[in-house]
Amino acid sequence: MPRTIPGLHHVTAISGPPQANVDFYTGTLRQRLVKKTVNFDDPGTYHLYYGDEAGSPGTILTFFPFADAGPGRAGPGMASAYAYAVPKDGFYGWMERLAERAIDFDGPTERFGSRVITLRDPDGAPVELIETDRDSADPLDGFHSVTLWERDLAPTARLLTEVFGYAEAGHETVEGVERLRLAAPGTARGAVIDLMRSDAPSIGRQGAGTIHHVAFRAETDEVQREWQDRLAQVGHPTTPVIDRQYFNAIYFREPGGVLFEIATDPPGFAVDEDAAHLGEALKLPARYEPHRARIEQVLPPLKVPA
């Protein structure tokens, strides 16, 4: 039986100043900062990872925070929104919690039979909370889905269905926005991808408040190599394997232009930090350790809310 992608591994976005980002995702959204490191290609900038208590695949949202980043804007050829799964019977609780804190949100609206509310992070990025039937003790049960804004849904849909093993799970058009829902087999977190086409004119611009790339899961290094071979066979060659310390990564552009990654589950975020203390210390790859003092001098201090 052909191998299939189980779902999302992580989503990586761009933000403005890091402290506001930490306050929102650990405070308002009640996520754990599971890793505080640097952009491996630009060590003068943080790379922040948020997720559940263990930093499980399918719960991880990461940011490159640039204090002087200009505002970005989603458009065709970009991932335009990420959605968290609200555990069973928790939807009203989230609306009440946000209202009590005077945090504005849109909705609830309905999407494919489920209620959705949308709030904005400090950089204006839409953060969707979607009602689900999943049982979880976590306030949010990792990702529900990611939306990809496409000019033409068909080429990306073919990649996801014919290569990754997704299946169509719904198709609707609401107020000029066409949305095709695709779902990976199984019950993993982040198993849903929505492909969106809109009549609204927009020219995308990378910047604060936009998504940089979307990462899918490979359960092992061997599985990742199989995906590398498979993608090359169907005309989507990837980068070589890149060591990201907490996972290995390969990248390619899907037909509509969105940057896709396939990331391995191992070794995980406890590889260089005790699980009880994830995200507390600045962790650097070995090549940057000789420069730690200078890097720490450049990076602004961060305080994680209790």
Question: Tell me: the pLDDT tens digits for 217-230?
Answer: 999 999 999 999 99
CA distance 17 to 69: 8
- pLDDT for 200 equals 81
pLDDT in tens, 17-32: 999 999 999 999 999 9
Predicted confidence band at 304 (pLDDT cuts at 50, 70, 90)?
Answer: confident
Predicted confidence band at 276 (pLDDT cuts at 50, 70, 90)?
Answer: very high
Structurally, at CATH architecture level, domain 8-298 sits in Roll (3.10)
Which residues on neighbouring strands pair with residue 224, listed in sequence order? none
